[in-house]
């Protein structure tokens, strides 16, 4: 009976551990990135993997300061900001990353870019009050 209780407890603990939520993977620097910039991005990636959100945010911001057009740094910063609960700023960096990397499927698959809400929180599927089909005439 005691073994059964331990087994049940083990399953409960395993179930709780799985509910923490999956954290998206950060991106690495593409080929041709300056070594100093790539190293800074990798530092942020390591801090992100260690769940040091403040350290990762600082490293990604430093990477962006050194190379503002590095889409991967904006994307990784967005992931980090999302973890800290700063959704509005995260959304800005997701959009910036997408603008800088139009063909990157990972970036374009990020949640803010896949939602039906536009960048100004406008639901593109909602009919306009100017739509003649919604008027009574």
Give a yes or no: residue 80 inside a domain: yes
- 136: DSSP letter: -
Residues β-bridged to residue 117: 123
* pLDDT, mean over the chain: 79
Give a yes or no: residue 50 inside a domain: yes
Give a yes or no: residue 5 inside a domain: no
Structural domain harbouring 79:
27-118
pLDDT tens by residue, 16-40: 444 345 678 999 999 999 999 999 9
pLDDT tens by residue, 93-112: 999 999 999 989 999 988 77
Q: What is the mean pLDDT of residues 74-92?
A: 95
Q: d(Cα 45, Cα 122) in Å, to the nearest integer?
A: 33
| CA-based nearest residue to 95, from 113, 120, 70, 109 | 113
42: domain CATH number is 1.25.40.10
Q: Which residue has the tokens 């395993």?
A: 14
Q: How many domains is the chain built from? A: 1
- The pair of three-digit structure tokens given for residue 17, joined into one six-digit string: 């551990």
Please give the model's pTM, rounded to 2 decimal places.
0.69
């Amino acid at each position: 009976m005691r073994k059964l209780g331990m087994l049940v407890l083990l399953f409960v603990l395993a179930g709780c551990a799985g509910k923490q939520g999956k954290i998206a993977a950060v991106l690495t620097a593409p080929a041709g990135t300056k070594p100093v910039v790539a190293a800074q991005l990798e530092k942020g990636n390591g801090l992100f993997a260690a769940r040091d959100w403040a350290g990762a945010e600082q490293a990604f911001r430093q990477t962006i300061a050194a190379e503002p057009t590095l889409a991967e740094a904006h994307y990784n910063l967005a992931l980090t900001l999302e973890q800290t609960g700063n959704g509005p700023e995260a959304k800005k960096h997701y959009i910036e990353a997408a603008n800088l990397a139009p063909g990157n499927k990972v970036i374009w698959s990020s949640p803010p870019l896949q939602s039906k809400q536009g960048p100004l929180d406008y639901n593109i599927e909602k009919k306009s009050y100017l739509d003649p089909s919604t008027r009574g005439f």
